[in-house]
Amino acid sequence: MRALLLCLSLLLALPAFAVQPDEVLDDPALESRARAISRVLRCPVCQGENIDESNAPISRDLRLYLRERLVAGDSDDHAVQAVVDRFGEYVLFQPPARGVNLLLYLAGPGMALLALILGIAFIRSRNRPEEGPAALSADEQARLDRIMRD
C-alpha cells in the first residue's frame, strides 16, 4: 500500500491526460460544443496535437478558458476568436478561407478541373485517328450517291 501511495504521488506530479473529468461541463449541450471546438484548436506548444487530445498544461488552461467563454454566453465563433486573439492564427487547425489562404482552398478544386480538362483533351486527341479520313466533300458525296444508285 505504501508503494502504491508513493507511485500515486509520482503520478500526480506527471502531466495530466487530455480532458479531465473535472473539466467537463454539467450542461451536455455546452460540453459537446466545447469538445467540437477544442478539436479544431491546436495546442500551442505540442507537435501537431489539438487541445482536446493534448496532455500539456497549457492545453488544459485553454480548454478551461474556452469553457468559461461558452458558459459566459459566447457564440462558438466568438470563443474561438478569443483564443486566436491571445495565441494567434497558429492555433487554428483550419485556417480561415480568406486572403492568401484562398489559394490553399482553391488549389484542390482548381487542380481537379485542370486535370479533367487535360484528361478529356487527351482522350479526344487520341480518338481522332480512329474517325478515319475527313468526311467526304459535297462533290465526293454526290459522286458516291451516283455510284450507289447505279
Partner 1 sequence: MNAEFGHFALILAFAVALYQMIVPMVGAAKGWSGWIDSARPAALAQFGLIAISFAALTIAFVTSDFSVRLVYANSHTAKPMIYKISGVWGNHEGSMLLWVLILSLFGAAAAVFGTNLPPRLRARVLSVQAAIGSAFLGFILFTSNPFLRLDNPPFDGRDLNPLLQDPGLALHPPFLYLGYVGLSVAFSFAVAALIEGRVDAAWARWVRPWTLAAWMFLTIGIALGSWWAYYELGWGGFWFWDPVENASFMPWLFATALLHSAIVVEKREVLKSWTILLAILAFGFSLIGTFIVRSGIITSVHSFASDPERGVFILFILALFVGGALMLFTFRASSMQAKGVFAPVSREGALVLNNILLAVSAFVVFIGTVWPLIAELAWGRKLSVGAPFFEQAFTPFMIVLAIVLPIGAILPWKRGKPGRALRSLRGALVFAFAVMALVYAVSTGRSALAVVGAGLGSWLIAGSVLDLWMRIGKSGLSRLLRLPRADWGKALAHGGLGVTFIGVSLLMAWQVEDIRVARLGDTFNVAGYDITLEAVDQHPGPNYDSITATMRIARNGREVATLYPEKRVYPVQAMPTTEAAIASDMFRDIYLVIGDPQQDGGWAVRSYIKPFATWLWLGFSLMALGGLVSLSDRRYRVAAGARGAPAHAQPAE
CA distance 120 to 104: 25
Angle formed at CA 88 by CA 87 and CA 94, multiple of 5 degrees = 110
Shortest CA distance to 91 belongs to which of 82, 102, 104? 82
66-85 residues near partner 1, rule: CB under 8 A = none
Residue from 90, 102, 140, 144 that binds partner 1 (CB under 8 A)?
90
Residue from 71, 104, 136, 144 that binds partner 1 (CB under 8 A)?
104
Between 110 and 149, how does the x/- string for binding to partner 1 read (CB under 8 A)? -xx--xx--xx-xx--xx-xx-------------------
Minimum separation from the CB atom of position 18 to partner 1 (A): 6
Q: Decide: is 102 part of the binding site for partner 1 (CB under 8 A).
A: no
Shortest CA distance to 43 belongs to which of 57, 32, 25? 57
Longest C-alpha distance within the chain, in Å?
115
Yes or no: say if 24 and 66 are a contact pair by the CB < 8 Å rule.
Answer: no
- What does the binding site for partner 1 look like in residue numbers (CB under 8 A)? 3-4, 7-8, 10-12, 14-22, 24, 39-40, 42, 46-50, 53, 88-95, 100-101, 104-105, 107-108, 111-112, 115-116, 119-120, 122-123, 126-127, 129-130
